[in-house]
Amino acid sequence: MDQAPTDFETLIALQQHGPDTWVGVSAAYAWGRIYGGQVVAQALWAGLQTVDPEVAPHSLHAYFIRGGDPTEPVRFEVDRLRDGRSFCTRAVVARQSGGAILHLSCSFHRREEDAEVQTARMPLAPLPEDIRPHPEENWPWIMERRSMRSYPGAGQSMGWVRLLDDLPDDPRLHTCGLAFTSDTVQFDSARSIHPLQVPREQYRDAFMGASLDHAMWFHHPTRADRWHLYDWDCHGLTGARGMTVGNLFAPDGTHVATIAQEVLLRERRH
């Protein structure tokens, strides 16, 4: 941890430490915990090291078990659950000295030529260059966001996201890049329907928030270093948990991925 990664390629470059085990390091996050999208992307990359390059991820399901320490390396242990002719399955546990921080199941599919039908439609949205970013929106490294305001009661949120640095043409790298960007924008859809409405700069004082579990389905290959639009809906709040479901669109309207995440939105009671 002499120097924390400041670009996605360095972040995703895991080191092998024995059979089906890899170790990665974290970027330095101002909020003191590892960003959830990072550990999902790294766990997926570890799983990809154990499968045939001709199969591609089509889905992942992850549980965030505890917050990760960005000053400590993360160990990724891969379990080869099944290798079939069309599909193969892996389980990945991410660990630090305090125990497991993430459990991820991922499935890979050998490409098949069959029907291609898209029913999801990209919503109307201003272009990313036409959106003035909030000071908290732009990370100083790795990822850039341009979120649109979620009005009270809307139950929706939208935003453009991309990785900052140009990546090689490896489609596996771009899939992991999408996984990295997928743990963002959705919180505003849940916050917008909470009875307690506060300005953005007061969110952390009013609420304790975290990602609880995360699922993602990949429909079409794309480039994570280009702008993509996230369109999120919150299906409700129950017991401090919000259920959010989102679609991810490429700039040409292609439905690239579907994401579901349950978020913790707990009101701080002083």
How far lies 145's CA from each of 55, 103, 205, 220, 227, in Å? 30, 27, 22, 21, 9
Q: Give the active site residue among 38, 150, 156, 211.
A: 211
As a whole number of angstroms, the distance between CA 155 and CA 244 comes to 9
Q: Give the active site residue among 183, 188, 192, 231.
A: 183
Active site residue 211: yes
As a whole number of angstroms, the distance between CA 151 and CA 159 comes to 14
Q: Give the active site residue among 105, 150, 156, 261.
A: 261
Q: What angle do CA 235, 240, 245 make, to 5 degrees?
A: 25
Burial class (CB in 10 A: 0-12, 13-18, 19+), 92: buried
Give the closest residue to 51 by CA, choosing from 10, 8, 86.
Answer: 86
Six token digits for residue 11:
């972040």
Q: Give me the active site residues, please.
A: 183, 211, 261
